[in-house]
Amino acid sequence: KIYVNVAKKILQKGSDYTKKETERLHRLLEKVGNKKVDSCHIIIT
């Protein structure tokens, strides 16, 4: 189900969606701090 939702968003927002979303998440993690980044890094990568 998650895959279908992500695929729909990619189709709606264009092929740059994944790159922009990844950049957005990295900026968000930078704001959170290094300790929390380490615990979340596995999920995003």
- Measure the CA dihedral 13/15/8/29, to 10°: -80
In the predicted structure, residue 34 carries a pLDDT above the cut 80: no
- What local confidence, expressed as pLDDT, does residue 3 receive? 87
Residue range 2-29, pLDDT digits in tens = 889 888 988 999 989 889 988 998 888 7
Band of the pLDDT at 45, cuts 50, 70, 90?
Answer: very low
Widest CA span of the chain, in angstroms? 34
For residue 6, how many other CB atoms are within 10 A of its CB? Answer: 13
CA 6 – CA 22 distance, rounded (Å):
13
Domain ranges across the chain: 2-44
